[in-house]
C-alpha cells in the first residue's frame, strides 16, 4: 500500500454525526491525510467552511495542497489545544461542529524516521511535531524510575511497568537506548519469559504509553475538548470524537459528562441551588464501534470508539 495513505475510520458515521448544516463552519481538529476533511467538504455547500488543524508538518503539507483546490478549506499547523486562538485569528466566534480522530496516522507510524513503531527500526523520537518539544531519547534522560513506571502503567496499562521502566533507565545510563529497536529489545527482555510470546508484542503497551507522554496527548485532549465545547454554536453545535485508547475515551466521556450534568449540589438537597446549567447533551454516549466488515477491511480500526455530543441553549 502507498506509504502516504491513511484509511479513515468510521468515516460515514463521523461525518453524518458532525455535519448537520451544509452552510456551517466546521473544524477537523486532526487532519492526518484528510480523509475525514474531504468527506466534510463533500457535504458542504458553497457557503460552508472547514478549518483543519494538525501538529504534524507532513499532514499540513497535504492539507495545503487541498486548500489550493478548494477555497472553502484551510489548514493550520497547530496543536488542537490552541483551537481558541486559531478560531480567534479567523474571526470565527462559533462553529457548527468540531471533529476529532485521535492518535497517529498510518503514514506517521509507517515512516521509520519518526520513531513511532518497533516494527521499523529508526531513531527514538515519537514527536508528532518534530519541530516542537524533545524527542523520546532526551525525555528518557530526565525522568525518574518512579515516574516512568507510572507513565507505562497508567498510559499503557502494562502490568510489568516497573520491570520495564527499570530496564529502560539502565539502558539509557549505559548508552543503549537510541533507537526503536533498542527500546523493543529492552521491553522484550524485561518481561518474564512466559509473557514474551503472547497475543501482543511485549513492547506494544510501552510504545503507546511513551508516545502519549512525549506528545502530552491527554493534556492536549483535555484542552482541545474544552475549547471545542466553548466554541460550539448553541444550540445544535456538534462534538464528534473517535478515540483509540481507553484513557482518551474515558477523558472525553468525563469532560462531556461534566458539561451535561454540571450541578455540584449535594444529592440530599431537594433542588439545585448551585445554578449550573447543562451546556451539552449526549447524542451518542454509548460509544459506536466499527462494524466487523470495517475491521476486516482496516484492522487499524479495531479499537476505535466514537462518541457524539451536542451543545444546548
Ligand atoms: C488518526 S490521524 C487522523 C486521520 C484523518 N482523520 C484522516 O482521515 O486522514 C490523527 C492525526 O491527528 C494529529 N494529531 C494528534 N494529536 C494532535 C493534536 N494535539 N493537535 C493537532 N493534531 C494532532 C496527528 O498528527 C495525526 O495526523
- Measure 60 CA to ligand 1 centroid, in angstroms: 10
Domain boundary among the residues 214, 245, 269 is at 214
Instruction: Ligand 1 pocket test: pick from 128, 133, 252, 303 the residue with the most ligand atoms within 8 Å of its Cβ.
Output: 128
User: What's the confidence (pLDDT) of residue 118?
Assistant: 86
Distance of CA 52 to the CA centre of its chain: 14
User: What's the confidence (pLDDT) of residue 96?
Assistant: 98
Give the integer Cα–Cα distance in Å for 28 and 164: 37
Query: CA angle, 14 as apex, 8 and 19 as ends, to 5°?
Result: 125
- Whether 107 shows a pLDDT value over 80: the answer reads yes
Q: Look up residue 65 and give its three cell numbers.
A: 495542497
Q: What is the pLDDT of residues 252-265, one digit of tens each?
A: 999 999 999 999 99
- Whether 283 shows a pLDDT value over 80: the answer reads yes
Residue 122 domain-assigned? no
Place of cell 477537523: 28
ipTM: 0.99
Residue 228, helix vs strand vs coil: helix
- 57 and 134 part of one domain: no
Q: Name the residue among 79, 64, 72 with its Cα closest to residue 29.
A: 79
Q: What is the mean pLDDT of the chain?
A: 96
* Closest ligand 1 atom, residue 217 Cα: 19
- Section 55-59 average pLDDT: 97
Give the integer Cα–Cα distance in Å for 19 and 255: 22
* Closest ligand 1 atom, residue 30 Cα: 12
Domain boundary among the residues 192, 214, 236 is at 214
Contacts 24+ apart (CB under 8 A), 271-275: none
Q: What is the pLDDT of residues 181-214, one digit of tens each?
A: 999 999 999 999 988 998 889 999 999 999 999 9
- Residue 158 DSSP one-character state: -
- Section 106-127 average pLDDT: 90
- Measure 75 CA to ligand 1 centroid, in angstroms: 12
Task: Please tell me the residue having the least CA distance from ligand 1 atom 12.
Answer: 30
Number of helices followed by number of strands (H, E) in the chain: 13, 7
Q: Name the residue among 113, 111, 155, 79 with its Cα closest to residue 6.
A: 111
Q: Where are the alpha helices (DSSP H) in 129-179?
A: 136-141, 145-156, 161-173
CATH number (domain holding residue 199):
1.10.150.170
CATH number (domain holding residue 226):
3.40.50.150
Q: Using 50, 70 and 90 to split pLDDT, how confident is the model at 119?
A: confident
- Section 90-119 average pLDDT: 93
- Domain that residue 75 falls in: 11-107+218-311
- Measure 102 CA to ligand 1 centroid, in angstroms: 6
Q: Where are the alpha helices (DSSP H) in the chain?
A: 11-18, 35-43, 57-69, 83-90, 106-110, 136-141, 145-156, 161-173, 180-190, 204-214, 217-231, 246-260, 292-297
- 233 and 305 part of one domain: yes
What residues are in contact with ligand 1 under a 6 Å CB criterion? 6, 8, 30, 32-36, 53-56, 59, 79-80, 101, 103-105, 128, 220
Instruction: Ligand 1 pocket test: pick from 14, 17, 34, 105 the residue with the most ligand atoms within 8 Å of its Cβ.
Output: 105
Q: What is the pLDDT of residues 287-299, one digit of tens each?
A: 999 999 999 999 9
* Closest ligand 1 atom, residue 224 Cα: 19
- 239 and 205 part of one domain: no
- Measure 51 CA to ligand 1 centroid, in angstroms: 14
Give the integer Cα–Cα distance in Å for 239 and 281: 10
- 66 and 93 part of one domain: yes
User: What's the confidence (pLDDT) of residue 3?
Assistant: 64
- Measure 158 CA to ligand 1 centroid, in angstroms: 25
- If one counts the domains in the chain, the total is 2
Maximum CA pair distance of the chain? 64
- The DSSP-derived string for 179-199 is BHHHHHHHHHHHS-GGGTTSS
Q: Using 50, 70 and 90 to split pLDDT, how confident is the model at 120?
A: confident
Task: Please tell me the residue having the least CA distance from ligand 1 atom 27.
Answer: 32
Domain boundary among the residues 185, 214, 243 is at 214
SS percent in the chain: helix, strand, coil, step 5: 45, 15, 40
Residue 118 domain-assigned? no
- 102 and 169 part of one domain: no
- Measure 308 CA to ligand 1 centroid, in angstroms: 18
Amino acid at each position: 500500500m502507498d506509504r502516504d495513505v491513511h484509511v479513515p475510520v468510521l468515516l460515514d458515521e463521523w461525518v453524518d454525526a458532525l455535519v448537520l448544516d451544509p452552510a456551517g463552519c466546521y473544524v477537523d481538529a486532526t487532519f492526518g491525510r484528510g480523509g475525514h476533511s474531504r468527506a466534510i467538504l463533500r457535504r458542504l455547500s458553497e457557503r460552508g467552511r472547514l478549518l483543519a488543524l494538525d501538529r504534524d508538518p507532513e499532514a499540513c503539507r497535504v492539507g495545503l495542497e487541498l486548500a489550493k483546490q478548494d477555497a472553502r478549506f484551510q489548514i493550520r499547523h497547530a496543536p488542537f489545544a490552541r483551537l481558541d486562538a486559531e478560531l480567534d485569528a479567523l474571526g470565527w466566534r462559533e462553529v457548527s461542529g468540531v471533529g476529532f480522530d485521535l492518535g497517529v496516522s498510518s503514514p506517521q507510524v509507517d515512516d521509520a524516521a519518526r520513531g513511532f513503531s518497533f516494527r521499523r527500526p529508526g531513531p527514538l523520537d515519537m514527536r508528532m511535531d518534530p519541530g516542537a518539544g524533545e524527542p523520546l531519547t532526551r525525555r528518557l534522560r530526565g525522568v525518574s524510575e518512579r515516574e516512568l513506571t507510572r507513565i507505562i502503567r497508567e498510559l499503557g496499562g502494562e502490568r510489568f511497568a516497573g520491570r520495564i521502566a527499570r530496564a529502560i533507565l539502565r539502558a539509557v545510563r549505559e548508552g543503549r537506548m537510541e533507537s526503536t529497536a533498542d527500546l523493543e529489545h529492552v521491553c522484550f527482555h524485561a518481561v518474564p519469559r512466559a509473557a514474551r510470546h503472547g497475543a501482543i508484542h511485549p513492547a506494544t503497551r510501552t510504545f503507546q504509553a511513551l508516545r502519549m507522554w512525549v506528545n502530552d496527548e491527554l493534556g492536549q485532549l483535555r484542552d482541545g475538548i474544552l475549547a471545542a465545547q466553548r466554541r460550539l454554536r448553541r444550540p445544535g453545535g456538534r462534538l464528534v470524537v473517535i478515540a483509540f485508547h481507553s484513557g482518551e475515551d474515558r477523558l472525553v466521556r468525563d469532560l462531556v459528562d461534566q458539561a451535561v450534568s454540571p450541578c455540584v449540589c449535594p444529592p440530599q438537597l431537594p433542588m439545585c441551588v448551585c445554578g449550573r446549567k447543562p451546556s451539552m447533551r449526549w447524542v451518542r454516549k454509548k460509544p459506536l464501534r466499527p462494524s466487523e466488515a470495517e475491521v476486516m477491511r482496516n484492522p487499524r480500526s479495531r479499537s476505535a470508539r466514537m462518541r457524539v455530543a451536542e451543545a444546548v441553549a
